[in-house]
Structure 1
Amino acid sequence: MRNIHKGSTNLHPFYWLNEPQSYTYDSDKTLTIQTKPNTDFWQRTAYAFQKDNGHSFLTKVENDFSLTAYFEFTPKSTYDQCGLLVRLNEENWIKVSTEFENSDFSRLGSVVTNMGYSDWASTDISSSNTVMYYRINKKGKDFLIEYSFDGQHWLQMRMAHLHMDAKVLSVGVYACSPLTSSFECRISQITIGDNTQ
């Protein structure tokens, strides 16, 4: 995907972790993903299961960075989600997304997974919100996670920490459908550059 904007942060080629059911990359620089059922990223906490088969399109990044993208989504089932992913390995990663609950509300939130245990910090928003910008800024082992409805005015979701140190992280976008259906999302304006915070 050569048209993704890259800042001066040292990047490697993009690759799929768990390729989706189908995907396209249009002339307007939009990545469209159709998820497979029974896909997710989660480790142990509360639900006592481990899933690491969500679809993610990633590149390896060295040093600090700012990762941003714009998402349009049409969820069908509970927990359908798409957003940003920062990943060291199966047991250490961060994701941010809006998870569909029902026709009334969804959960705008983030999951931080350290040493094989996930947390989930969220707030309820209307399910009528089917577009969102997300941004993750990395400084050392600390991460600032934000969202925006217009790409101009950013709101803080949380500050988080990955306990394991890594000189190189895999970063990019993801989508998954934890239950038995699939859904489609459109992702554009993927930007990876220097952390300006």
Structure 2
Amino acid sequence: MDTPRDIPWHEGSWLNEPEHVRTDGTDLLVTARDRSDFWRTTGYGFVRDDGHALLTGFPAGSATEVTFVADFTALYDQAGLLVRVAPQTWIKAGVELSDGVPHLGAVVTHGVSDWSLAPVPDWHGRAVTVRASRTGDAVTIRARCEDGPWRLVRLAPLAPDATATAGPFCCSPERAGLQVRFTRFTQGPADTALHLPE
């Protein structure tokens, strides 16, 4: 993949201001508000749209990457990358603590949300990068831990003419005090293939 461009934290705009934000060297430390989340209806019957996301433009033909430290302790602590079109149309992908284990997953929302998860216990406390690549009518979500191989997480629909934004997100559905360290936010050209060469 081509080398992406670093996006300075100040270039993004917050969707729902977090409890606290500060820089630590080149990193961004974000403290989530108590019981913040992104979800629409399915299985739970509620709509939550008060999670935190630092967003910039996500045009067709581009890819956005977010790197963060997956250091979570409470149920549903989560962070990663959000792609946003509207309150009813968005994708969040990253790492979430479920049943005491970090899971790599994605929620794709078109009116209502779905949820897919896979356990990644060895990713706890380590740097994780999530990449959203937009081509044609789709977004391809990949993730990796540190310098490990990229894993395909999700292929999801996104209208070619949709105006979208993307960037780092975090939520804390069950507690106050979650702090997430984001270490990188980048944008570059979209991937040219669904399956990357080994």
* Length-normalised TM-score, structure 1: 0.86
Q: What's 1:177 paired with?
A: 172
Structure 2 residue identity aligned to 1:26:
D
Matched, 1:148 2:144: yes
Does the CA contact (< 8 Å) of 2:12 and 2:55 recur in 1?
yes
1:152 deviation in Å? Answer: 5.3
1:76 deviation in Å? Answer: 2.8
Which range moved further: 67-76 or 50-59?
67-76
Matches for 1:64-83 after TM superposition, within 5 Å: 64-83=61-80
Q: What's 1:94 paired with?
A: 91
Identity score, percent: 30
Q: What's 1:49 paired with?
A: 46
- Distance in 2 between the 1:175 and 1:24 partners? 15
- Which whole-Å deviations, capped at 9, do the CAs of 1:131-166 have from their partners, x for residues lacking one? 211111111220111111124521111211135841
Any runs of at least 4 consecutive aligned residues in structure 1 with deviations exceeding 6 A, and if so which? none
- Which whole-Å deviations, capped at 9, do the CAs of 1:142-196 have from their partners, x for residues lacking one? 0111111124521111211135841x21110100100133311111121111113
- Distance in 1 between the 2:172 and 2:122 partners? 16
Matches for 1:58-69 after TM superposition, within 5 Å: 58-69=55-66
1:55 deviation in Å? Answer: 0.7
Unpaired segments of 5 or more residues in structure 2? 193-198
Change (3 A) 1:139 1:101: same
Matches for 1:1-197 after TM superposition, within 5 Å: 5=6, 13-27=11-25, 29-103=26-100, 105-114=101-110, 116-126=111-121, 129-131=124-126, 132-151=128-147, 153-162=149-158, 165-166=161-162, 168-197=163-192
- Distance in 1 between the 2:152 and 2:191 partners? 15
Unpaired segments of 5 or more residues in structure 1? 7-12
- Which whole-Å deviations, capped at 9, do the CAs of 1:72-128 have from their partners, x for residues lacking one? 13323100100000000100001101111244x2321001101x1111111122176
* Length-normalised TM-score, structure 2: 0.85
The 3-state SS of whatever aligns with 1:62 is coil
- Distance in 2 between the 1:54 and 1:26 partners? 22
- Distance in 1 between the 2:169 and 2:72 partners? 14
Q: How many residues align?
A: 185
RMSD (CA atoms): 2.0
Q: What's 2:196 paired with?
A: none
Does the CA contact (< 8 Å) of 2:72 and 2:124 recur in 1?
no
